[in-house]
Amino acid sequence: MATEHEELSRTRNKKREISMKQNENSIKLFKAAKELIPGGVNSPVRAFRNVDGEPFFVRRAKGCRIEDVDGNSMIDYVGTWGPAILGHAPECVIEAVNKAAREGVSFGIPNPYEVDMARLIVDWVPSVEKVRMVNSGTEATMSSVRLARGFTGRDKVIKFEGCYHGHVDSLLVAAGSGALTHGKPDSAGIPSAFAAETIILPYNNIEKVRAVFEAMGDQIAAVIVESYPANAGLIFPREGYLQGLRDVTSEYGAVFIFDEVMTGFRVAKGGVQELEGITPDLTAMGKVIGGGLPVGAFGGRAEIMDYLAPDGPVYQAGTLSGNPLAMAAGLAQLNEMERLDGYGKLEQLGARLEDGVRAMLKRKGLDYQFNRVGSMFCLFFTGQEIVDLDSVMTADSAAFRKFFTSMLDQGIYIAPSPYETGFISVAHGNREIDITLEAMDKALSVI
């Protein structure tokens, strides 16, 4: 007699087989979008070009599932690229947004939600003494770099290959994320003089960082790093690497910036700096703290943050910064995560997925690399240890395309790029993880 799981799986696969033949609405929408929007999308990776496909259009999302305009339902591991840590449309967030919206959707003047959010961030993130809200992760990193330059009176910034810090002119050099997927790690339209102020080094090589500081330490305003690079898959620092960056920046008086837009409030309440015991000078944040609405923030040592206008000479402003809807949504989500012990649940689900994947790879005799921290994960189609961008680029892109297509056909949506990280939400459960592992088993068999 078939088990409940087997019966559910058969029913799901049968429905999926029927529904995936019906994608006419997405096809029509993408055709119209290409006439109106560059490439048909508002962010390059959404175009599905790295998987030789075309995007589907989502009609609704709830919990750990999304449904497209043709009625196809999928278990989602993209989670709007990270913010949906409770899953899609959690009731607490919907209620908070509705309540806030009834009082007004934007004021352009301070509101109480901003103070509550600032207090929560300062309480949760070890290094942050003061914080300013912005509207995106890109704005957070851009403002952090400007502040670091203003504070130090220096111009040059060190960043690392494969670390993506948004589409800031001076930082969109040797970037990851959509820049890799799109095949253009650098962008047209950026003056060479801007890029000349950015020093690019390989991630995980502290010796090269020290050598640059020894040569021009008095010119370097900041080192900015994705603490766990999550826009070129998911890369972990070697033991002592982050502390080495902390030490060398302190020695030369440069500002140490942690980009925790992806990892902040996702891997732990206090982000990577809590896990690693590292105290940066500034931290860029976003995603989870907006509950799905546009948001960003940057904060750090009060001495540095006080250089911002109106108190200091570094100008930064934003009409919608601290928007009441985004603040209300983010507060509701973060408070619910604490109430549910959400990080404990995410670790349990992540470990279940990791154990299943590793056992599967061993059984199949595949030496692919699987990296995970909490609810973030990435499967690299290479046998080489993943330590930097060069090792990431050894992955078999053709194998990934076959894997992606098979997973989508089975009702599992992962990012349409081998250079992105997967996200588990609190709305996922053991059953969804097991269904995903079953689909991965089949997908790995067709590569």
- Tens digit of pLDDT for each residue in 120-174? 999 999 999 999 999 999 999 999 999 999 999 999 999 999 999 987 777 766 5
Question: Given 323, 339, 355, which residue is the final one in a domain?
Answer: 339
The torsion angle over the Cα atoms of residues 414, 83, 146 and 242, rounded to 10 degrees, is -70
**Do residue 122 and residue 260 come from a single domain?**
yes
Does position 8 have pLDDT exceeding 80, yes or no?
no
Quick one: pLDDT at residue 168?
A: 76
Examine the fold and report which residue of 309, 339, 369 is the final residue of a domain before the chain moves on.
Answer: 339
Q: Which listed residue (156, 287, 343, 388) is catalytic?
A: 287
Q: Taking the CA of residue 31 as centre, how many other CA atoms within 13 Å lie in the half-sphere pointing to its CB?
A: 6
Tokens linked to 385: 């240890």
pLDDT at 11: 47
Q: Which two tokens stand for residue 228?
A: 């766990």
Same domain, 128 and 148: yes
What pLDDT is recorded for position 3? 52
Distance from first CA to last CA of the chain, Å, rounded?
32
List 164, 228, 413, 419, catalytic entry? 164
* pLDDT band for position 1 (cuts 50, 70, 90): very low
Rounded distance, CA 98 to CA 121, Å?
23
Q: Are residues 21 and 100 in the same domain?
A: no
Choose the catalytic residue: 68, 70, 76, 259: 259
> Of all helices (H) and strands (E), which one includes residue 423?
strand 422-423
Could you give the residue ranges of the DSSP H alpha helices within 20-136? 24-36, 91-102, 112-124
Q: Do both 346 and 298 map to the same domain? A: no
pLDDT of amino acid 167? 79
CA-based nearest residue to 292, from 89, 428, 115: 89
Residues 52 and 63 in one domain: yes
| In the chain, % of residues over pLDDT 90 | 85
Q: Is residue 288 part of a domain?
A: yes
Would residue 426 count as lying in a domain?
yes
State the residue range of the domain holding 214: 91-339
Q: Stretch 56-77: mean pLDDT, rounded?
A: 97
Q: Are residues 157 and 288 in the same domain?
A: yes
**Count of beta carbons in the 10 Å neighbourhood of residue 119:** 12
Q: What CATH number is associated with residue 395? A: 3.90.1150.10
Q: Give the number of other CB atoms < 10 A from CB of residue 185.
A: 17
What is the band of 306 on the pLDDT scale with cuts at 50, 70, 90?
very high
Task: Indicate the pLDDT class of residue 181, thresholds 50, 70 and 90.
Answer: very low
Question: Would you say residue 241 lies in a domain?
Answer: yes
Are 272 and 239 in contact, with CB atoms under 8 Å apart? no
Does residue 85 lie within any of the structural domains? no
Active site (annotated) includes residue 315: no
pLDDT at 221 over 90: yes
pLDDT value for 185: 36
In this structure, are 174 and 276 located in the same domain? yes
Owner of token pair 């929408």: 29
Residue linked to tokens 């096809």: 27
Q: 194 and 268: one domain?
A: yes
Residue 6 has a pLDDT of: 53
The DSSP 8-state label assigned to residue 293 in this structure reads S
- Cα separation, 175 vs 162, in Å, equals 5
pLDDT of residue 20: 46
Query: Which of 321, 339, 357 is at the close of a domain?
Result: 339
- The reply to whether 82 falls in a domain is no
Q: Please check whether residue 71 lies inside any domain of the structure.
A: yes
Mean pLDDT of the chain: 92
**Secondary structure letter of residue 289 according to DSSP:** G
The answer to whether residue 51 sits within a structural domain is yes
Average pLDDT of the segment spanning 324-348: 98
Whether 164 is a known active-site residue: answer yes
- Report the alpha-carbon distance of residue 162 to residue 176 in Å, rounded: 4
Q: Does position 5 have pLDDT exceeding 60, yes or no? A: no
Tell me 88's DSSP state.
B
Q: What is the CATH number of the domain that holds 206?
A: 3.40.640.10
Q: Both 267 and 284 in a single domain?
A: yes
Total residue length of the chain: 447
pLDDT on residue 15: 45
Alpha-carbon gap, residue 229 to 221, rounded angstroms: 21
How confident is the model over 233-286, as pLDDT tens digits?
Answer: 999 999 999 999 999 999 999 999 999 999 999 999 999 999 999 999 999 999
- CA 276 to CA 285: how far, in whole Å? 17
pTM for the model stands at 0.90
Same domain, residue pair 65 and 173: no
CA–chain centroid gap for 28, Å, is: 30
User: Per the domain annotation, does 19 fall within a domain?
Assistant: yes
Tell me the mean pLDDT in the region 212-225.
Answer: 97
Whether residue 273 sits in one domain with residue 233: yes
Residues 282 and 138 grouped into a single domain: yes
Q: Which two tokens stand for residue 201?
A: 């080094």
SS3 at position 226: strand
User: What's the structural domain count of the chain?
Assistant: 2
Taking alpha carbons only, the member of 365, 285, 287, 366 closest to residue 333 is 287
Question: Which residues face 201 on adjacent strands?
Answer: 160
